[in-house]
């Protein structure tokens, strides 16, 4: 399985944008980039996914580098409810998800 690398932790101020990076230098052409987040004491929650083009949904935006070796999850305006562990995962079709340790995001009021 291709692996991803994320910072262990990040902090951001409330109501400011947050850019969460993910490196995946060994990504293959058929790997999709998925992002999930896990709020305290809850199960993971799907955030967004993409293949080559940038993607937007109501929760976040996903910016994918042209060579696909890195991507960035963008939360446009962080709130306290966005404090969570964010997981960047490569996935092919309906293959199983392989979770790393993710990035713990702290929002400062």
Partner 1 sequence: NAGVTQTPKFRVLKTGQSMTLLCAQDMNHEYMYWYRQDPGMGLRLIHYSVGEGTTAKGEVPDGYNVSRLKKQNFLLGLESAAPSQTSVYFCASSPLGQGDHSNQPQHFGDGTRLSIL
Contact positions vs partner 1 (CB under 8 A): 32, 34, 36, 41-46, 49, 87, 91, 93-94, 96-102
What is the closest distance, in whole angstroms, from the C-beta atom of residue 97 to partner 1 in the complex? 6
When the beta carbons of 17 and 27 are compared against partner 1, the nearer one is 27
What is the closest distance, in whole angstroms, from the C-beta atom of residue 30 to partner 1 in the complex? 10
What is the closest distance, in whole angstroms, from the C-beta atom of residue 32 to partner 1 in the complex? 5
When the beta carbons of 15 and 97 are compared against partner 1, the nearer one is 97
What is the closest distance, in whole angstroms, from the C-beta atom of residue 40 to partner 1 in the complex? 11
CA 108, CA 103: separation in Å to the nearest integer? Answer: 16
When the beta carbons of 8 and 109 are compared against partner 1, the nearer one is 8
Residues of 48-72 as b/e, b for ≥16 C-beta within 10 angstroms? bebeeeebeeeebbbbbeeebebbb
CA 109, CA 47: separation in Å to the nearest integer? Answer: 23
């Amino acid at each position: 399985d291709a692996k991803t690398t994320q910072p262990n932790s990040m902090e951001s101020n409330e109501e400011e944008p947050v850019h969460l990076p993910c490196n995946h230098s060994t990504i293959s052409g058929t790997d999709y980039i998925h992002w999930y987040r896990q709020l305290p004491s809850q199960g993971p929650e799907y955030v967004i996914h993409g293949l080559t083009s940038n993607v937007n949904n109501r929760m976040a935006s996903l910016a994918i580098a042209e060579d696909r070796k890195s991507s960035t999850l963008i939360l446009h305006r962080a709130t306290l409810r966005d404090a969570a562990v964010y997981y960047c995962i490569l996935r092919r079709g309906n293959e199983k998800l392989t979770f790393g340790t993710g990035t713990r995001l702290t929002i400062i009021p």
